Amino acid sequence: MDAGGGGGGGAARNSGAGDTVLQRTSRAGAQRELTAGESAACGAAAGLVARAVVSPLDVVKITLQLETGRRGGGGVAACAARILRTEGARGFFKGNLAAEYLYLTYGAAQFVAFRGVEALLRRVPGVPRAAQSFVGGAAAGAIATAATYPLDLLRTRFAAQDLARRVHPSIAAAVRRIYADEGARGFYRGLWPACLQIMPYMGIVFGSYDALAAAYAWLRRRGPLRADSRLARALDASQDAVLGAAAAVVGKTCVYPLDLVRKRLQIQGPLLPRYARGAVPAYSGVGDALVRIVRSEGPRALFRGLTPALVKAAPTSATIFFVFGQTRDLVLALRP
């Protein structure tokens, strides 16, 4: 279940059928697990690298999510072309500083929370591994989302503004303006659908990851991959990335409508007409947004931007699990 690196090599992967994303079995058969501080450091590193990979896709996805009307503003290519034409290459990196802070803190909080919840559930008799992974992932997602939500809102608002007519010139100015106009609650607009979305999403991602990893471990022990072939070694090296990408695609598709509603709620407030070319109406909450989007734009509008979301989710999750796996293995290898 390794991504390669210093966690024990192929022998550890083959023997570690009980490993999770936080654990690895050494060549001697001893199972080692990251501490809370190590989980935070590995998660932060994974988040930073992942954000650098997917910034342009994130801006395209948010732009499409904020399009209105039954036809929206065109597909992924049309949206990307419009951003490039009207704002230049810089338009694909709007809100990138806030997003970097978000991914760094979210990555750290997510893996620390997952470690704590999963460790707690292991002490409860009769809880199966699949339930531990799902509940741990769901709780980790909710905790990390609540802890970092203001940064997520800032990222969305920066991505929704036009560079030629900026609403906020800097993060500090945005914080001051939001607090003055909307109070502290303004930083948490859309938090409820965010938690509704992230809990099943991260539960599915971590649960799918561990299930797929267990299946891979079985194939390495008994199936067609048990021979120490070149294919097996190549799969070992990329395992964390492949499993993370597959888990993200499954999870994102299941919860995408709530992600779209969250983005639209995040730009509500007195400056709403200045975001997304003034096209997004005012909503009173999650239910109102869902009903009005379906009525005025059709059910398909709930999945507007899904393609770039999946294209983004797969490499993001692949990068997060891969970088986390590499740093995890390095940390465990450097331990006495």
Q: Find where tokens 């888990």 sit.
A: 247
Q: Which domain holds residue 115?
A: 35-334
Q: Per-residue pLDDT tens for 185-210?
A: 999 998 988 888 888 888 888 888 88
Rounded distance, CA 116 to CA 112, Å?
6
For the chain, which residues score pLDDT lower than 70? 1-31, 70-74, 222-237, 336
| Residue 5 Rama label (left phi>0; alpha psi -120 to 50; beta) | left
Task: Break the chain down into helix, strand, coil percent, rounded to 5.
Answer: 75, 0, 25
Is 14 part of a structural domain of the chain? Answer: no
Res 146: pLDDT? 92
Is 18 part of a structural domain of the chain? Answer: no
For helices 191-221 and 129-160, give the axis angle rounded to 10 degrees: 130
For the chain, what is the domain count? 1
Is 10 part of a structural domain of the chain? Answer: no
Where helices occur in 161-228 by DSSP H, the ranges are 171-182, 191-221
Is 97 part of a structural domain of the chain? Answer: yes
Is 178 part of a structural domain of the chain? Answer: yes
With beta carbons less than 8 A apart as the criterion, state whether 16 and 217 touch: yes
Is 269 part of a structural domain of the chain? Answer: yes
Minimal CA–CA distance to 305: which of 133, 121, 29, 66? Answer: 66
pTM (predicted TM-score): 0.66
Is 46 part of a structural domain of the chain? Answer: yes
Res 13: pLDDT? 34
Res 6: pLDDT? 29
Cα dist. 19→13, 118, 213, 294 in Å?
9, 12, 9, 43
- Which residues have a Cβ under 8 Å from the Cβ of 97 and sit 6 or more positions away? 171
E strand spans, the chain = 23-25, 31-33
What is the CATH classification number for the domain harbouring 318? 1.50.40.10
Is 13 part of a structural domain of the chain? Answer: no
Res 15: pLDDT? 33
Res 9: pLDDT? 30
DSSP H or E segment with residue 78: helix 76-87
Res 214: pLDDT? 81
